Chain A
Amino acid sequence: QQQVKQSPQSLIVQKGGISIINCAYENTAFDYFPWYQQFPGKGPALLIAIRPDVSEKKEGRFTISFNKSAKQFSLHIMDSQPGDSATYFCAASDTGNQFYFGTGTSLTVIP
């Protein structure tokens, strides 16, 4: 019930392309969905987050799309750059404190 399923496990994208990472959840009480970006040797850092009262949130090249009925949300990275190469984690929370993380997606952007 508390699982967050994330796919794909790894992703290779050409520079300038669109990277898409998908997550799905079961617990309908989840009401906060952050995405974290992690570079090697660093802790996860918040990239963008969404609440279920909106279907989309955009910050620069990063967009979260949220489908409440399907219990799915996704991260789109437009115009992907080599500097975007990192591991991306989706997460969900029903209290705003305890986060349930996905298994992570390793993104490689090829120049």
Chain B
Amino acid sequence: EPEVTQTPSHQVTQMGQEVILRCVPISNHLYFYWYRQILGQKVEFLVSFYNNEISEKSEIFDDQFSVERPDGSNFTLKIRSTKLEDSAMYFCASSKTASYNEQFFGPGTRLTVL
């Protein structure tokens, strides 16, 4: 069964450093998403991406964040200058079509900012 994969599973970085989280969505999916979950808190939407453009983003997704689909398979989330409060589990998701369609989540990348 196809699944969303994410690398690395755990990333430790120093405050102020740039990190890139990588995702490989399901191959025939066209819509891609990033969510984060701070430990013990709810899952929060960050951004959705379609046709090489951001289609929606939340207030959390400020100028420190960017997304990219650098090739036909990868979808990345970059955090330019990490803060302590960026420590969280980051989930990538993808869906076949837009709107009201099942979003398939990856296993997540745990980001720890020291």
Contact = CB atoms under 8 A, between A and B. Distances in A.
B48 to A, nearest CB: 5
Interface string B37-73: 0000111110010000001101000000000000000
Interface in A28-66: 32, 34, 36, 41-46, 49, 51
A76 B20 CA distance: 39
Most buried by B among A93, A98, A100, A101: A98
A89 B91 CA distance: 14
Nearest to A46: B102
Contacts of A91: 43
Nearest to B105: A43
A30 B58 CA distance: 16
Contacts, number: 58
Interface string A90-101: 010101111111
A: interface residue count bin: 20 to 34
Contacts of B99: 95-97
A51 B48 CA distance: 21
B4 A43 contact: yes
B4 A98 contact: no
A46 B103 contact: yes
A96 B96 CA distance: 13
Interface of B: 4, 31, 33, 35, 41-45, 48, 55-56, 58, 91, 93, 98-108
Interface of A: 32, 34, 36, 41-46, 49, 51, 89, 91, 93, 95-104
- Interchain residue pairs A-B with the least CB separation, the first 3: A96-B99, A43-B105, A96-B100
